[in-house]
Structure 1
Amino acid sequence: MNGKLYGVGLGPGDPELMTLKAARLIGAADVVAYPSLEGGASFARAIAAGVIPEGAEEIAISIPMSVKREPAQAAYDAGAADLAACLRAGKNVVVLCEGDPFFYGSFMYLFSRLSDEFDVEVVPGVTSVTACAAALRSPLSARNEVLTIIPGPMEETAMEQRIAAAQAVAVMKVGRHLPKIRRVLNRLGLMEHAGYVERATLPEQKAMPLAEAPETAPYFSMILVTKGEDPWL
């Protein structure tokens, strides 16, 4: 009998933001798998380290950081094959996912490769978007406002059009795209409505108005823009 595959959201970084269900499933896993940067450590494993059981088999899925899709797709093919072998052996496999598995999460690529053959359960997690709103002490949206989520790598003109049309905005994966995002918000006159957060919920978290933010940003950073068209005060 095949084992069961779990895609488990861990939240944005603070281990205390793991759900009770996530901790229970990790603690009972036969196999714990997680993405890792090619040649580097795994942020997901670091979040869950305190609840990974002794004796659990661990599988690191090394993901190359490349703008080209092919290297990452090959890595997911190899990772899925390793997980499939464990599942066919009757082992339950928990895949660790920072944030939420289906919100810009790498687990979706494993899910697409394995869900036709195996029983899969997806366990949601706290997203970085809500964590950043909490860090800024600023609601994401109110009443009938629509929240627009934009990836930082989006082309500049398209990003400007999206932000201009939006009511509330979260720009994720800021990193090296910070100067471009600043240019867009300056042209739209929205700098005073923008907040900046990096490494949300971790000890080194920084949260401040975007106008006061550093000139460079890590990959795990976000900008929230609330235009206040539907005030919540």
Structure 2
Amino acid sequence: MSTRRAFMSGTFFGIGVGPGDPELLTLKAMRLIQQADVLAYLVGESGQSQAKQIAVLALEGRQSSHSDIVIPMPMSTRREAANNAYDEGAKAISEALEKGLNVAFLCEGDPLFFGSFTYLMERLEGKCPIQVVPGISSIHAAAAELQHPLTVLKESFCVVSGRHTEQQLVEALHLHDSVVIMKAGRARPTIMKALALTERIEDAKYVEYVGRDNQLVENDVRRLQNEYGPYFSLFIVSRKERGTR
């Protein structure tokens, strides 16, 4: 008896599609996307899904008679709006799973690393079989693009978010040899200030929209405008002198 029939429901897959380059999709992710009965993904206010666009190569070989589950995600700082969207998405996914359909949720980057899949998994955990397929994160894609090691030898390594306070950013930059600051976006001026306060401007590199057609790489962050940047952007900060720690 198959897993699907034994559980009397379909399986919910969290599929990491990577940061932007369609060729970074794993073989397992491609196979499961092509085999899934139903695809689910977030869409922005434009009605476009970046995760679906990244998975374009897998979609070329896909055949299904079932409609996709499209989850509109409002661009709002209010967490209530996002929670409502995830509630509605989880409900639609549950209905498909109860029919015995396998649902694959397409998630940019890695599903469990700042991934939107996390919030759907929380709502469906214990109610259905769940499988997670890891994806290449924007951190690793950015390091590869920069040809810059994230950490070596005994260096300490830390990942923080642009949503942290200036003081938290300063503490991380003081305490750790290598720091990645994710989701820079609206926090870019604060991040630049924290880099200046800790005298780590020269240690920093910046990447936005890694792996996409509009990718931007800046090895000298002093050239950046002191203004908001895009949501999909990050700083990689590491010591200039390496290999002795």
Both proteins in one fold, TM over 0.5: yes
Q: Cα distance, 1:131 vs. partner? A: 0.8
Cα contact 2:159–2:181 (8 A) shared by 1: yes
Aligned residue in 2 for 1:190: 200
Cα contact 1:36–1:63 (8 A) shared by 2: yes
The secondary structure found in structure 1 opposite 2:68 is strand
The secondary structure found in structure 2 opposite 1:227 is coil
Q: 2:239 aligns with which of 218, 227, 233?
A: 227
Aligned residue in 2 for 1:27: 34
Moved more, 145-154 or 11-20: 145-154
| Mapping for residues 89-104 of structure 1, pairs under 5 Å | 89-104=99-114
The secondary structure found in structure 2 opposite 1:84 is helix
User: Which whole-Å CA distance do the structure 1 matches of 2:46 and 2:233 have between them?
Assistant: 22
User: Which whole-Å CA distance do the structure 2 matches of 1:124 and 1:118 have between them?
Assistant: 19
Aligned residue in 2 for 1:68: 78
Moved more, 70-79 or 87-96: 70-79
Look up the equivalent residue of 2:31 and give its one-letter code.
Answer: R
Cα contact 1:144–1:230 (8 A) shared by 2: no
The answer to whether the aligner puts 1:105 opposite 2:115 as a matched pair is yes
Unaligned runs of 5+ in 2: 1-7
Q: Cα distance, 1:100 vs. partner? A: 0.2
Aligned residue in 1 for 2:24: 17
Look up the equivalent residue of 2:74 and give its one-letter code.
Answer: P
Unaligned runs of 5+ in 1: none
**RMSD of the alignment, in Å?**
1.7
Q: Cα distance, 1:93 vs. partner? A: 0.4
The secondary structure found in structure 1 opposite 2:111 is coil
Q: 2:69 aligns with which of 50, 54, 59?
A: 59
Aligned residue in 1 for 2:135: 125
Cα contact 2:192–2:226 (8 A) shared by 1: no
Cα contact 2:13–2:103 (8 A) shared by 1: yes
Cα contact 1:140–1:168 (8 A) shared by 2: yes
Q: Cα distance, 1:101 vs. partner? A: 0.3
User: Which whole-Å CA distance do the structure 1 matches of 2:29 and 2:167 have between them?
Assistant: 40
The answer to whether the aligner puts 1:148 opposite 2:158 as a matched pair is yes
User: Which whole-Å CA distance do the structure 1 matches of 2:133 and 2:63 have between them?
Assistant: 22
User: Which whole-Å CA distance do the structure 2 matches of 1:230 and 1:50 have between them?
Assistant: 39
The secondary structure found in structure 2 opposite 1:85 is helix
The answer to whether the aligner puts 1:115 opposite 2:115 as a matched pair is no
User: Which whole-Å CA distance do the structure 2 matches of 1:183 and 1:215 have between them?
Assistant: 9
The answer to whether the aligner puts 1:211 opposite 2:190 as a matched pair is no
Q: Cα distance, 1:38 vs. partner? A: 3.8
User: Which whole-Å CA distance do the structure 2 matches of 1:65 and 1:145 have between them?
Assistant: 37
Q: 2:180 aligns with which of 170, 175, 189?
A: 170
Q: Output the TM-score relative to the length of structure 1.
A: 0.94
The secondary structure found in structure 1 opposite 2:55 is helix
Q: Cα distance, 1:16 vs. partner? A: 0.2
The secondary structure found in structure 1 opposite 2:110 is coil
Look up the equivalent residue of 1:58 and give its one-letter code.
Answer: D
